[in-house]
Amino acid sequence: MSLLALMVAVDGNDVLTVELIAGGEVQGYPVGGDEDGLTVTWDNRRTTVPWELVDSVQVNGEFVPVPVVKTELLEFAQPQALSELWAPPPLAVGAASLIWPGAGHLLLGDRRSFLAYSGLELALIGVAAWEVHYNESLGPLIPLVALDLVFRVYSAVEATDEARERRTAVRLSPPPAAGLALVVASSPENTLRGWLD
């Protein structure tokens, strides 16, 4: 049994892979769980799997005993405040990642991805600064700028996809008061649609 299995703390950024007794698997981000089953979201769909159909569970690729996951999901579902369930609009997340790669992931609460993208961005900036300082030529900067643009677009697309998946999971939950201005400013029609549905 791995250390992760002993210290697991399931949160909304974890990817669960649920292997079923009858074969097949269900993958997604955890939304919650109760005595009847666990609920995950993936590709803009929610799926609830009854516990009696669950053979095994992986959390981010690590096998974790089903009773541990069940306990964690029951605890995960209970104290979760609306502020933890709220997902920023995909447009805001994508724009943040275009401005600084990984910033959209940080808005979603994914600190590891933010640090990875920021580290790569800082490395690109460092190489560009070194080229300008020591070579005193702008020629080598053209491929670096092109690479940086591709990197920013990739980061924005990935963060937007994650925001859409998260948004599906919490579509009917109103945003917390602190995030209300950001939501209304970026997508008033989506905000109203979510509250009126």
Domain boundary pick from 52, 80, 108: 80
Overall average pLDDT of the 167-182 stretch: 52
Query: Is residue 90 domain-shared with residue 154, that is, in the same domain?
Result: yes
pLDDT for position 137: 74
pLDDT for position 77: 54
Query: Is residue 141 domain-shared with residue 185, that is, in the same domain?
Result: yes
How far is residue 193's CA from residue 32's CA, in Å, rounded to a whole number? Answer: 24
Overall average pLDDT of the 87-98 stretch: 92
How far is residue 110's CA from residue 133's CA, in Å, rounded to a whole number? Answer: 34
- pLDDT surpasses 90 at 101: yes
Query: Is residue 8 domain-shared with residue 64, that is, in the same domain?
Result: yes
Query: Is residue 8 domain-shared with residue 30, that is, in the same domain?
Result: yes
pLDDT for position 105: 92
Asked if 156 and 97 count as a contact pair (C-beta separation under 8 A), the reply is yes
Query: Is residue 69 domain-shared with residue 97, that is, in the same domain?
Result: no
Query: Is residue 110 domain-shared with residue 183, that is, in the same domain?
Result: yes
How far is residue 134's CA from residue 116's CA, in Å, rounded to a whole number? Answer: 27
- In terms of residue numbers, what domain contains 51? 3-80
Query: Is residue 95 domain-shared with residue 129, that is, in the same domain?
Result: yes
Query: Is residue 64 domain-shared with residue 94, that is, in the same domain?
Result: no
Highest-pLDDT range among 80-89, 90-99, 158-167: 90-99
Domain boundary pick from 28, 62, 80: 80
Domain count, the chain: 2
* CATH assignment at residue 41: 2.30.30.100
Overall average pLDDT of the 65-91 stretch: 68
Query: Is residue 92 domain-shared with residue 123, that is, in the same domain?
Result: yes
pLDDT for position 156: 95
The pTM of this model reads 0.50
- Among 67-81, 109-123, 183-197, the range scoring the smallest mean pLDDT is 183-197
Query: Is residue 70 domain-shared with residue 145, that is, in the same domain?
Result: no
Overall average pLDDT of the 8-23 stretch: 79
pLDDT for position 75: 65
Helix or strand or coil: residue 29?
Answer: strand
Query: Is residue 75 domain-shared with residue 118, that is, in the same domain?
Result: no
How far is residue 27's CA from residue 20's CA, in Å, rounded to a whole number? Answer: 11
How far is residue 1's CA from residue 132's CA, in Å, rounded to a whole number? Answer: 51
CA 40 to chain centre: 13
Q: How many Å is the Cα radius of gyration of the chain?
A: 20
Q: Are strands 45-50 and 37-42 parallel, antiparallel or unpaired?
A: antiparallel
